[in-house]
Chain A
Amino acid sequence: MIEKGKISASQMGKMLYLAILPTAALTTPAITFKFAKQDLWISPIWALCGLIVIFVSLRLHRMYPGLNIVQACERIVGRFPGKIIGFIFPLFYLYFNGIIVREYSEFVVGAFLIRTPLIVVSGSIVLVCAIAARGGVEIVGRFSELILPAFITFFLLIVVPIIPDLQVTNMLPIMPEGIRPSIEGAIVLQTWFSEFLTASFLLPFVADQKKSQKSVYISLLAVILTLIVSNLVTLLLLGELTGNYTYPFLIVARYINLADFITHLESLYMAIWVLGAFVKICVFFYVTVLGAAQWMNLSDYRPIVFPLGLLLILFSMWVAPNFQELTHAIATSVTLAIITLFVIIPGLLFCIAWVKRRLWIKS
């Protein structure tokens, strides 16, 4: 075992929540609105991929205790195909994390630090995350435990003051074209729900295994609820305009004005974004490093943290020439790739493992 640290089940749930929610709450409303219109807030309920992925990773972990999906894969389909999948997973995590770092730095540069070069913002967050990931899974777990209360407080500080300005008529009529538009809007969200596969990499380190199942499902529920709240607030405030902004939730934060005194709350939004993105990049980076170290049979993952951090910065530059193409890719090919890799392949693996076990019991 490369990693000697242990985390608690609740820490894992918090890590997953923070590793999935921030970018989902802050960038998806614009994409989802294109399809779902005023049913924007119903879309997060269709978390089918999240359920499948959580079910598969929990069951695979029960069949092969102490092994993550890549290691279990070697047991299920044999050494060579297992090694191929074991190579693809860290590489894809690296690529996907590159997208996240890019999104993060594009947002920071676009909305706040206008004259700062992109590389400075992405370089500094990757350096911080690399140092945290080098500390191991315990450090990342404690960070998420520390950051979650602040995250929720800031989130409520944005949502609660806006309540008097909300117009309920914006969400009417509910489901005028039936259930279909909201499901179409949920397709892009499946990318975020598929990220729950990260649970498979964290489960082996959980000290109190009995609670882990409950904790992951609570985490999924919390993500869905928070997305419903944030989408609903955005929709009720902006109405038809939601689709015109890249970051609708930022507009919500800017709108807050209590007695001409409490204004410009977008700095809170910035705090949410930096805290959330930090945990998100950390968790994904940790999974990349761990997967790569396991693939190369290293005795320690720490030596490869900084080289992979350099690669992460380069990937964040390399994923797309500009932000428009990045958004387009996220809505199309990245969604397809992540569903293939995080939902279909683990699903197939689970089926094979299940059949194998049945045959083994019979003989």
Chain B
Amino acid sequence: MDWAAVLGIAAVLVIMVRYEWPQLKPQMKREKTAFAVLTAVGGALALLLVFYPEMPGPTQGLDALYKPLVKWMDHFTEKRSG
């Protein structure tokens, strides 16, 4: 199953590159770099999510950032609805 997902991701990446790359003109260096970097980041993140689905995500980051306030809001919600 995992390997099927990897194949799917590879197919999406190949289609994206085959479609977009010929449309980029040779002098568009910045755009080429941006496209390559973003595609690489996307591919890497996709692979990570396939093999480590439990990886902490951005929501956990926000939770950690606003921890005291989130606790206070939870407490508050319980008081109101309970």
Contact = CB atoms under 8 A, between A and B. Distances in A.
Q: Do A and B form a real pair?
A: yes
Interface of A: 34-35, 95, 181, 184, 243, 293, 296-300, 302-304, 306-308, 310-311, 314-315, 317-321, 325-326, 329, 331-334, 336-337
A39 to B, nearest CB: 12
Contact of B81 (A34, A318, A325): A34
Interface of B: 12-13, 16, 19-20, 23-24, 28, 30-32, 34-35, 38-39, 41-43, 45-46, 49, 53-55, 57-59, 62-63, 65-66, 69-70, 73-74, 77, 80-81
Given A331-B73, A334-B62, A337-B66, A310 B57 contact: no
A299 B46 contact: no
Contacts of A317: 49
A354 to B, nearest CB: 28
A153 to B, nearest CB: 36
A311 B58 contact: no
A207 B66 CA distance: 40
Residue from B12, B24, B38, B46 having most chain A Cβ neighbours under 10 A: B38
A311 B57 CA distance: 13
Given A310-B16, A311-B45, A314-B45, A303 B62 contact: no
A334 B65 CA distance: 11
Given A300-B31, A310-B46, A333 B80 contact: no
Given A299-B30, A333-B66, 8 more contacts: A293-B34, A298-B34, A304-B35, A314-B45, A320-B57, A321-B54, A333-B59, A336-B66
A329 B53 CA distance: 18
Nearest to B81: A34
Contact of B74 (A95, A300, A303, A332): A332
A90 B16 CA distance: 21
Contacts of A321: 53-54
